[in-house]
Amino acid sequence: MAADLSFYVGVIGNVISLLMFLSPVSTFKSIVEQRDTKEFESVPYICTLLNASLWTYYGIIKPELLVSTINGFGVVVELVYVILFLIFAPRRMKVKTWILVGILDVGFFAAAIVVPKLALQVSHQVDALGIICAGLNIVMYGSPLSAMKTVVTTKSVEYMPFLLSFFLFLNGATWTLYAVLRWDIYLMVPNGTGCFLGAVQLVLYAIYRNAKPAKSDLSENLIEEGSQHAPLISSSSQLPKKDARW
């Protein structure tokens, strides 16, 4: 019974994650049409590509079919996003993107696979990979903390879109439930963290959505720069600009 329930929960999680992976499509469509990424940042998509690649491999060797399938889809989507940066970004951004892809998506990914194979017994290799995946996911889920600080400082939710917070919470909650049903601690910890942070963001949104924005140097600088706090997988119609965070 638990196995059947976990399958259905995993399918729901796949649908939510699929929507999150596809959410920046309209933005990249405009990039292709304009043939220019302007000041948009490629780092979030490079990091998401690494994250999806590691979880795909984890899902294969575990095995966790529902984890490997959705993250395998994510690898393809994020790879397309990164390639579009390499095609349409200014020269300086192209160089930066190539360097980060080489370090993270090739070097770090290869090390995460090869080192456990050489250093650990087969029975411990899955655990080592699970720890790496969970740690990276916690770092990614923790990136909205700067946006949450901005909300409290400026008393404005302008830089923390509701749908982003809602889907962060929903995605984390769904995969946490799946992890509990499958009793997979490496899925449970990072997604539980994401669920908690998503819930905190929703609470902050409820508190400050009608609050009068506070005048501060921080808010003025953000407005002047036109920066936007965006997720590693953006749910808005814009890409995160240079120096933007979750």
Nearest to 179 by CA among 57, 62, 53: 62
Are residues 188 and 176 in contact, defined by beta-carbon separation less than 8 angstroms? yes
d(CA 237, CA 226): 15
Are residues 16 and 74 in contact, defined by beta-carbon separation less than 8 angstroms? no
Phi first, then psi: give them for residue 235, nearest 5 degrees.
-105, 5
Q: What is residue 64's three-state secondary structure?
A: coil
Provide the pLDDT for residue 239: 41
Average pLDDT over residues 129-145: 82
Beta bridge partners of 48: none
Provide the pLDDT for residue 228: 34
Provide the pLDDT for residue 226: 38
Q: What is residue 40's three-state secondary structure?
A: strand
Taking only the tens place, the pLDDT of each residue in 214-226 is: 554 444 444 333 3
Provide the pLDDT for residue 145: 74
Question: Model pTM greater than 0.95?
Answer: no
70: pLDDT confidence band, cut at 50, 70 and 90? Answer: very high
Residues 6+ apart with CB under 8 A from 17: 70, 71, 74, 171, 175
Average pLDDT over residues 158-164: 72
pLDDT at 245 over 70: no
d(CA 101, CA 93): 12
pLDDT at 174 over 90: yes
Provide the pLDDT for residue 58: 93
Domain definitions of the chain by residue range: 2-225
What single-letter DSSP state applies at residue 241? B
Beta bridge partners of 241: 40
Q: Across the chain, what does the average pLDDT equal?
A: 80
